[in-house]
Amino acid sequence: MIRQRTLVAIIIALFMFAPNGWTSLKPSDVTQRGREFLVSLLDPDLGLLPEYRGANVYWLFHDNYLAAKVLAVSHPKIAQSIMAAIHHEGIYKSGRIQVIFGEAEEPLPFRQHQLKDVRRAGNKVIRTEVMTDRIFDDWERYADLLLLACLTEKNQPAARQHWEAAIRLWDGKGFLDAAAKHDQCYSTYKLGLALLAANHLSPPAEPPQGMLDKLLTLQDDSGGWITDYDATGKKLGVANVETTCLTILGIEAFTEHKQSQAK
């Protein structure tokens, strides 16, 4: 019991003394700032969030679907209005990101996706992702898909195999999968997915050392999380909706598990 409580104290300390200079933030403070960032992006005319501040593209799936889920408890009216705006466009599903919440009808095998323009509203473009019938043959080369497979797999040994395959792509800095090698940078959202997937396993898996700390350093002054980073830790891109949502979900799943261990 003492050991578990000590572990939780260490985790809390990571939040309080993260390299970004914040010295008084708890996990709940960090994720609250993330939610405030999301709320600040809401476009009252469309009832949707743009991809990032200043963008004229509004993604129904994944961005706004994820935002509605993340804000459901803290900002229920905003979450409901976002879902209503999504449904107003005649879009009800994507087929991939819904895996996280157990809402995907046929999650496996993974299929290739297509990016679709839903409509334009002046200079604003509403888009979404839809799944095609084409099977994604080499999805095991991508850490995010391995982690989503872990999340959707009900058979625990199979789920743990997906987790272990994803963790083999972790190089101590990020997930060096096929996408990272091609783009020559790491994706922040995959760290959030990993924390979620770790908590899905029974018993929960321990994420690689340094993963949580890395996520903390990638939170922007706005409260959102930066899209990518390089091998030196330099932030690349801007804070965006999808990355922020998945990071919030991952941090909260991780800390919830650690707090339950201490009881």
Task: Quote the domain boundaries for residue 64.
Answer: 42-136
Same domain, 18 and 145: yes
pLDDT digits (tens, 9 = 90+) for 7-25: 445 455 544 444 444 434 6
pLDDT digits (tens, 9 = 90+) for 44-66: 999 999 999 999 999 999 999 99
pLDDT digits (tens, 9 = 90+) for 96-133: 899 999 998 888 889 999 999 999 999 999 999 999 99
Write the DSSP assignment of the chain as a string of letters.
-HHHHHHHHHHHHHHHT-TTS--S--HHHHHHHHHHHHHHT-BTTTTB--SBTT--EEEIIIIIHHHHHHTTTTSHHHHHHHHHHHHHTT----SSGGGGGT--SS-SS-EEEEEEEEEEETTEEEEEEEEEEEE-TTGGG-HHHHHHHHHH--SHHHHHHHHHHHHTTB-SSSB--HHHHHHTSEETHHHHHHHHHHHHSSSPPPPPTTHHHHHHHTB-TTSSEEEEE-TT--EEEEEEHHHHHHHHHHHHHHHHHHHHHH-
Same domain, 84 and 193: no
pTM (2 d.p.): 0.89
Same domain, 215 and 167: yes
Same domain, 93 and 223: no
| Per-chain mean pLDDT for the chain | 90
Same domain, 174 and 257: yes
The number of folded domains in the chain is 2
Same domain, 155 and 28: yes
| Residue, of 19 and 190, whose pLDDT is higher | 190
